[in-house]
Amino acid sequence: MKPTEKAVKVLDILEKEYPDARVTLDFKDPLQLLIATILAAQCTDERVNIVTKDLFKKYRRAADFAAADPHTLEEEIRSTGFYHNKAKSVLACCQMITDQFNGQVPRTLEELTSLPGVGRKTANIILGNAYGQQAIAVDTHVKRVTHRLGWAKPDDPDKIEFELMKVIPRERWTMACHQLVFHGRNVCTAKNPQCPACPVNNLCPKIGVSAKKLGRNDVPETT
């Protein structure tokens, strides 16, 4: 079976398992998703959603964030962790959006990655979920699950992205990432993955059918 054929089979199964798979950050527009994604680094989406509930009421435009007092903003996002660097990224990013993009979050990968603190993963999250484009965002769950499935080998997320582009049909890029994230959170976890309960274990080269027969759930982390 070709890699793409196997990937389609896996994704078909995950689509049924996680029909509500989506980005779990709360947002109403591209700017809110951008800010939330920056804050989500090394932080849970649940915590970010708590913080942004009030944050987005106070700061409604990129210019509002750009004009924010740095110390005040740091305190407002403190609970997301790494608040000093995150505040710097938010301020610099929104200043550039205000000055160079007429206050609008750009719509291309090249322009998005020109923003301070915005890498390919964040840019692809914006493109795929705020602008409806097909994009592959590689987070820790996507990295772990695709390593185990044998779809990608590199450790570098950007290189993983390019490998996944060859395996996953383009029309499924964005949704596939959501499905892989949900699977990584619920079943294919970093520690003690639930292999016997995994709906795709017979398609996983790291596990195989033998894991299901043996009832193993102690498969080690591979990333």
Which among 121, 155, 213, 218 is annotated as catalytic?
A: 121
Radius of gyration (C-alpha) of the chain in whole angstroms: 19
Answer whether 95's CB lies under 8 Å from 103's CB: no
- Annotation says 213 is catalytic: no
Structure tokens at 220: 């080690």
Planar angle of CA 204, 194, 8, nearest 5 degrees? 35
Helix-helix angle 30-39:83-100, to 10 degrees: 150
Which residues are CB-neighbours of 21 under 8 A, at least 6 positions away? 14, 15, 175, 178, 179, 181, 182
CA 146 to chain centroid: 14
Planar angle of CA 76, 77, 82, nearest 5 degrees? 140
Structure tokens at 182: 């949900």
- Annotation says 12 is catalytic: no
Which among 9, 64, 139, 206 is annotated as catalytic?
A: 139
Active centre residues (catalytic): 121, 139
